[in-house]
Amino acid sequence: MALRLLVCSALLCLVAANSRVRRIVGGEKAQEPPSPSEQIPFTTPEPDDSSPLVFVKTNRRRAEVVGNRNPDGTYSFLGIRYAMPPTKNRRFVRPLRLKPKGLIVANKFGPPCPQWWRGRLVGDEDCLHLNVFTPQLPENNSSSTPLLPVMMWIHGGNFKTGSAAQYVPLRELLSRGIVVVTVQYRLGTLGFLKFGNQNLGGNSGLFDISLAARWVREYIHFFGGNPGRITVAGQGSGASSVTHLSFHKYFGRHIKGIISMSGGPVSPFALDQSADRSGGEVVQANSCTGRGSISTVRCLQALPFENIVQEDGNIEQAKKKGEKNVGKKLTSLFLSGPNVEGADDNRFLPNFIVEPPLEAASHHHIPNIPLLVGVTKQETGGGVKGNLLQDITSLLTTATFITQGIFKDLLTANTGLYVNNTVNPGLSKLFDSSQYLQFFDTLIGSALSGIEKVVQHTTDALFNLPAFILSNFWAQKNKNVYLYSFEHTPAKSIADYFLNGITLVSNISSQEGNNKGPSHGDDLAFLFEVRNIDGEPLNNVDNILSETDQKVRDHFVTVVAEFVKTGKPRIDGANDWSPFNTEEGSYMIIKDNPKLKKGFRKCNMGLWTGDADMLKSTECALNGASEIVTNTLGSAGTGLLKATTGVTDGLSKTVTGIGSTLTGSIPKGTGGLLGGLYKEPAKNNNNKTPNLGLGGLYQEPPKNSNKNPTSGGLGSSLLKNPFG
């Protein structure tokens, strides 16, 4: 009997071996476990005697982290490594965890990740650092000190610029009793290069963030933070990253709240819809073509990072110069960014983005996490009145641009709402009606200039609509969804200091007078100090200039801090903040006298979504537009979202719209873009595509072995699940 079992086992092993896909694609051996005496090599200045000291003790490891005691009584620990430097053979691939050990002098910021900043190439590949800001430390590392809620901040910059060092939380924010952690992650090609599904899946920058989140969960209690009360927040592309993370089945369960400022999963910059093409452009620009796939990656890894960033700049400039679409010029990713990797085979580390966000919604894959969503009143004002003013002024000389052309541009630019990598055909058909487009002008009226109309249309399509859809997504599953519109115009816009290099942001003080509303990034100065890319103070720039600015700052800080603490925002001097729901669409206007209102841009959103019931509501009374929707998209109940077929079966079927024959729509709604966000997941869906790439190789350690396994691929450096 024993012999029979032995023979059967041998045969099974042989069959399994023959059926396995070989995934050895190069890479380096995993490091052996460190010896008890091993010291992590940190070359930083010796600490001052008065510096605060935090002891980190886990298992056999012990670290002493020396930080700064700030003049305002708070503490900061800067430039803490959370991963091995992503250099050489670790370039482009998932990060390798680095546990705190030995003496860590954390009194200055680490370098930014490589990028173009104000016309010069800055940064270093050894950039995977985070910073901790806390109003208090546990007394003598005592467990009796109450732990504080934590906000983990992900900076914006269109996945190509920015640093964690720019975002030093205001004293007013820390004094509300929260700990703030700012995180750095790889940018551009170095962070998001995808080169073939079987070789390099991309999204390394997102894996950086997830590994930093694991660091926060495991070590933040040593710094006074509560690992069980972590809210992840971001602005712009940082907000898109945060929501991508929340959709992940492992990451979402560890966080208690999400703050999504001016961005989200369906924003036009949330995904690189042509990631393979972006990767091919990088390969060609860096003269690494004509090789096998592995050799191509090795060629790119052997180059100085400066060469890659230089070519990134050249690629971006060439694309911008050739782009005629106004919406794409404002918000598109012209370099590699997050991409949909597709389903994984559950044998190795999971892919990060397995399906487009709209599909995730139809599959019930929306996390049950409190959400705070926000936009500024004129998100695109800085770009339209600044960087693109000359181009748009020229376009406005053509009469049909403001009545028809701009809407076609924005429909194409709004890639976050694509299905199967294409413009929603239902919307496309609806927007072919010049009669329907006239209702946009009816809403705006004739008082606004052409430039102001462009600002409003682009803000609605590229920011308000994604925020509206995101809020509706979440409200289907979570009662704690809150929406705000930041409508205070600061005395001086300093968004350019935070987000230099993106088209949306510019200094427009000399263009058409002052802003008529805050633009993209104008709300950042109400939470953070103004710093340069290296974290150095800008002494000639003040965050807050007027008494009204100070009042709004207090309101905004309270909103964010209360949400981090409880999952529910609060604002002094305003009515109780009602959660957003699909019936009322409640939202808070944040200014010196905050107000709670209902029906977030209801009529405009009705037009952009093609929702017949919204359009014929008492508030809108656009009955003509409602009739066009019904006549164009079908009878009641077959609106835009309900025109999609086969969404829940993945991308294998033809999709004719956004949303399938979905149920759970806006109550009593007649279709529209929000007409049915939910559908029961398809059963027995075995259409899983294995990830053979450099980004997902993971082998279980052999039993009875004290050594880490030898990894088989470029992506196998993260030997433990980054999501914990």
Model confidence at 200: pLDDT above 70 = yes
The residue type found at 368 is N
Mean pLDDT of the chain: 81
Alpha helices in 198-335 (DSSP H): 204-219, 237-247, 275-285, 293-302, 305-322, 326-331
Query: pLDDT grade, residue 669 (50/70/90)?
Result: very low
Query: pLDDT grade, residue 467 (50/70/90)?
Result: very high
Q: Among the listed ranges 355-369, 503-517, 519-533, 609-623, which one has the minimum average pLDDT value? A: 503-517
551-580 per-position pLDDT tens digit: 999 999 999 999 999 999 998 877 789 999
pLDDT at 136: 94
Give domain status of residue 702, yes or no: no
Give domain status of residue 170, yes or no: yes
Give domain status of residue 441, yes or no: no
**631 φ/ψ angles, rounded to the nearest 5 degrees:** -70, -30
Using the 8-state DSSP alphabet, how is residue 543 labeled? Answer: S
351-375 per-position pLDDT tens digit: 888 888 888 877 767 888 999 999 9
Query: Which range marks the domain in which residue 228 is found?
Result: 45-389+458-601
Which one of 149-158, 474-483, 715-724 scores highest in mean pLDDT? 149-158
Model confidence at 134: pLDDT above 80 = yes
8-58 per-position pLDDT tens digit: 444 444 444 443 333 323 344 444 444 433 333 333 444 555 688 888 888
Q: Which residues pair with 588 in a beta bridge?
A: 484, 596
Q: Check: CB of residue 529 under 8 Å from CB of residue 168.
A: yes
Could you tell me whether strands 129-134 and 75-81 are parallel, antiparallel, or unpaired per DSSP bridges? antiparallel
Q: Among the listed ranges 141-145, 257-261, 604-608, which one has the minimum average pLDDT value? A: 141-145
Query: What is the mean pLDDT of the segment spanning 398-405?
Result: 93
The contacts of residue 192 (CB under 8 Å, 6+ apart) are 159, 186, 202, 203, 204, 205, 272, 275, 335, 336, 337, 338, 339
Residue with tokens 């609106």: 639
Query: What is the mean pLDDT of the segment spanning 51-78?
Result: 91
Q: Check: CB of residue 650 under 8 Å from CB of residue 360.
A: no
CA distance 545 to 176: 22
Q: Check: CB of residue 568 under 8 Å from CB of residue 577.
A: yes
The count of structural domains within the chain is 1
CATH number at residue 179: 3.40.50.1820
CA proximity to 65, closest of 91, 47, 90: 47
409-448 per-position pLDDT tens digit: 999 998 888 877 788 888 888 999 999 999 999 998 778 8
Q: Tell me how crowded residue 704 is: count the other CB atoms within 10 A of its CB.
A: 5
Give domain status of residue 405, yes or no: no
Q: What percent of the chain lies above the pLDDT cut of 90?
A: 60
Model confidence at 175: pLDDT above 70 = yes
pLDDT at 508: 59
286-344 per-position pLDDT tens digit: 999 877 788 899 999 999 999 999 999 999 999 999 999 999 999 999 999 999 988 87
CA distance 656 to 246: 28
Q: Among the listed ranges 102-111, 303-312, 496-505, 679-688, which one has the minimum average pLDDT value? A: 679-688
The residue type found at 116 is W
CA distance 572 to 558: 8
User: Which H helix or E strand runs over 372?
Assistant: strand 371-376
pLDDT at 658: 36
Q: Check: CB of residue 176 under 8 Å from CB of residue 252.
A: no
Q: Among the listed ranges 283-297, 392-406, 532-546, 661-675, which one has the minimum average pLDDT value? A: 661-675
CA proximity to 268, closest of 452, 388, 376, 423: 423
CA proximity to 459, closest of 417, 410, 507: 410
Could you tell me whether strands 179-183 and 148-154 are parallel, antiparallel, or unpaired per DSSP bridges? parallel
Give domain status of residue 609, yes or no: no
pLDDT at 220: 97
Query: What is the mean pLDDT of the segment spanning 513-518?
Result: 66
Of 675 and 249, which is predicted with more confidence? 249
Q: Check: CB of residue 309 under 8 Å from CB of residue 116.
A: yes
Give domain status of residue 190, yes or no: yes
CA distance 611 to 390: 35
pLDDT at 685: 43
pLDDT at 642: 43
Of 647 and 319, which is predicted with more confidence? 319
- Burial class for 364, CB neighbours closer than 10 Å (0-12, 13-18, 19+): middle
pLDDT at 323: 93
Length of the chain: 724
Give domain status of residue 69, yes or no: yes
The contacts of residue 110 (CB under 8 Å, 6+ apart) are 78, 79, 81, 126, 127, 129, 165, 184
Could you tell me whether strands 68-69 and 53-58 are parallel, antiparallel, or unpaired per DSSP bridges? unpaired
- Burial class for 420, CB neighbours closer than 10 Å (0-12, 13-18, 19+): middle
Give domain status of residue 615, yes or no: no
CA proximity to 519, closest of 495, 502, 543, 542: 495
pLDDT at 646: 36
Q: Check: CB of residue 392 under 8 Å from CB of residue 283.
A: no
